[in-house]
Amino acid sequence: MLYQIYETQRSFMEPFTDLAEVASRMFSNPQLPFAQLPLAQRISAGYDLLHRLGKDYEKPEFGIRTVDVNGVNVAIHERVDIDKPFCELRRFKRFTDDPNTLTALKVQPVVLVVAPLSGHYATLLRDTVRTLLKDHKVYITDWKNARLVPLAEGEFHLDDYINYVQEFIGHVQGIYGNCHVMSVCQPTVPVLAAVSLMASRGEKVPLSMTMMGGPIDARKSPTAVNNLAMQRSYEWFENNVIYRVPEKFPGAGRRVYPGFLQHSGFVAMNPDRHASSHYDYFQDLVKGDNDSAEAHRKFYDEYNAVLDMDADYYLETIRTVFQDFELVKGTWDVRNERGELERVRPQDIREGGLLTIEGELDDISGAGQTAAAHGLCAGIPQAHHLHYEAKGAGHYGIFSGRRWREMVYPVVKAFIAAHQPPQAVAAGVRAAPKAAAKTGAAKPAAKARAKPAAKAAPTSPARRKPATV
C-alpha cells in the first residue's frame, strides 16, 4: 500500500507545485506589477523552492552534444545499440570533418562503462562519459526504470544483470576486437563476476578492468550503507521495502524496490547537508546569483531523479554482496542464459589489467572494499595491477567533478592506454600515459607494458599487493 499512498500524495501535490512555479515567475517577472511589490524577490524564491521540493523529477538526458578533442569541436550522436527489457546499451558516436582528428579518433580505445543500478539513472555518470569521450570510444549501460517494464517481460535477477554485461562486452568485442570495461560503484561485483565467467570458459576477456568505489568486499571498513544491509535480515528487506507497482504504470503489479525509498535513504545519510544546500539556493535566488542557483538545479535534477529496481535483483544483491559475501568467499554460483550454474572464479582471469580506485572520504564504499579485487584476481600478473586512492574525494568525487577530471581521469586514461594492443599504441594512443605523469600512474603502467604475463612471478591472493599511486 505504501507505493499507492506515495503516488496518491504526489498526484495530489502536483497542482500545488505547478501553481508554485507560476507564482514564482509572476513575482520575478519585471514586466508584471507583482515584481514591484516589497519582498517580491524573496516571495519568488520561496515559491521556486517550494516547487522544486514538491515536483516530480523525470529521467534526465545525457545532453552531450559536442566534446573538445585536442582543440577540435567533435559532434556526438547518442544512439541505442542493444535494447533489452531492463537495459539499453547506449553508444556515443563521435563525428568530425577534420582529417587529423578523425584519424586519431579511429585508433582510440573503446570503453564500456557499466553504470550502477542502485537508484539513480545512468545519467549520473554524465561527467564520466563526457570526459572519457575526449580520448575514447564510449558505450554505457542505461538501466531502465522497473516500473515501466511490463510483467510480460519476466523477472530480473542478479544473474540476468551478469548475463547482460557479458552480452554487451561480446557485442563491443565483435565490433572492435576487444574493449576496456569500467564499472562504477554497485556494478563492480557483477562485472567482476561476468569477466570471471568469461575467463573460466576460455572466452576473450576485456583488455582492462577499471573498478571504482565498489563493494567487492563489503566486510572491509563497513559504512552506514553496509551496516544496514548486514544488520537486517533478508526477510526484513523483503517484508519492509518491497512493493508492487501501482496500476497507472506499464509495469503494474511488478514487485520492486521503489526509487522514492532509495532516495529517502540517500537524503537521510546527510540531511543537514541537503537542508543547507536548499537554504543556500533560496539565498542565491534572493541575491540574484543565477550561476549558483543553476548549479543547484542541475545537481538536484539528477540527484532527485530515481528509478525502481526489480525486487529479485535488489534482494539477491543484498544477500550475495552484503550478507553472504559469496564473491570473496568463493561460493557464488551464477545461472547463465542456458540455465546452467557456473562458479565465479576471479582467479581464472589471467589476461588484461586491473585498476581499482577509491575515494579517501568515500562514505558509501569504505576503504579497502574495492582494492580487495586484487587479491581475488590472483591470476593477473602483478605488473598489471594498480590501485589509486583519490585524496580528498568522496564517493561521487571519484567519477564526477573536478577531482575526477584532474586527479582520477589521468590515471584511468594512462592505464587504459597502457593495455591497448601494440598496433593501437603505435598508431598514436601512446601519448595518453604522458597526461598522467604527475599522478605517478604512468610508471606502473609502463611496467605493465614491458613485463610479459608469462614471466610474472606467481603471487598468492593473500600476499598480492597492487602498485599504488
In a domain, 278, yes or no: yes
Contact 111, 180 (CB under 8 A): yes
Identity of the amino acid at 5: I
Share of the chain above pLDDT 90, in %: 79
In a domain, 250, yes or no: no
| Span 36-47, pLDDT tens digits | 898 999 999 999
Same domain, 345 and 374: yes
Same domain, 40 and 121: no
Q: Which residues of 109-130 are buried (b: 16+ CB within 10 A; e: fewer)?
A: bbbbbbbbbbbbbbbbbbbbbb
- Strand-pair partners of 212: 184, 357
**Full DSSP string of 88-153:** EEEEEEEE-S-HHHHHHHHHSPEEEEE---SSB-GGGGHHHHHHHTTTSEEEEEEEPPGGGS-GGG
Instruction: Look at residue 447 in the predicted model and tell me its pLDDT.
Output: 35
- Does the pTM of the predicted model rise above 0.85? yes
Please tell me the distance from the alpha carbon of residue 32 to that of residue 23, in angstroms, as a whole number.
Answer: 11
| CATH code, domain carrying 427 | 3.40.50.1820
In a domain, 161, yes or no: yes
Same domain, 383 and 332: yes
Q: Burial level of 65, CB count in 10 A (0-12/13-18/19+)? A: exposed
In Å, how far are 278, 436, 447 from 444, measured between CA atoms?
44, 11, 5
Domain end marker among 278, 303, 328 = 303
Same domain, 18 and 78: no
Q: Residue holding cell 514591484?
A: 36
Instruction: Look at residue 463 in the predicted model and tell me its pLDDT.
Output: 44
Same domain, 34 and 173: no
Please tell me the distance from the alpha carbon of residue 375 to that of residue 54, in angstroms, as a whole number.
Answer: 47
Same domain, 151 and 82: yes
Same domain, 26 and 108: no
Same domain, 357 and 219: yes
pLDDT higher than 70, residue 238: yes
Same domain, 49 and 85: no
**Number of separate domains in the chain:** 2
| Span 381-408, pLDDT tens digits | 999 999 999 999 999 999 999 999 999 9
Domain end marker among 246, 275, 303 = 303
pLDDT higher than 90, residue 460: no
Q: Burial level of 454, CB count in 10 A (0-12/13-18/19+)? A: exposed
In a domain, 61, yes or no: no
In a domain, 39, yes or no: yes
Same domain, 355 and 377: yes
Same domain, 232 and 368: yes
Q: Which residues of 370-382 are buried (b: 16+ CB within 10 A; e: fewer)?
A: bbbbbbbbbbbbb
Domain end marker among 303, 328, 360 = 303
Please tell me the distance from the alpha carbon of residue 441 to that of residue 417, in angstroms, as a whole number.
Answer: 11
Segment 126-137 shows an average pLDDT of: 97
pLDDT higher than 90, residue 280: yes
Q: What confidence tier does 448 reach under pLDDT thresholds 50, 70, 90?
A: very low
Segment 179-207 shows an average pLDDT of: 97
Segment 287-294 shows an average pLDDT of: 94
In a domain, 152, yes or no: yes
Identity of the amino acid at 362: D
Domain span including residue 81? 66-237+309-468
Check residue 272 and report its DSSP letter.
Answer: H
Contact 19, 51 (CB under 8 A): no
| Span 244-279, pLDDT tens digits | 999 999 999 999 999 999 888 888 878 998 999 999
pLDDT higher than 80, residue 365: yes
In a domain, 19, yes or no: yes
In a domain, 245, yes or no: no
pLDDT higher than 90, residue 425: no
Same domain, 170 and 42: no
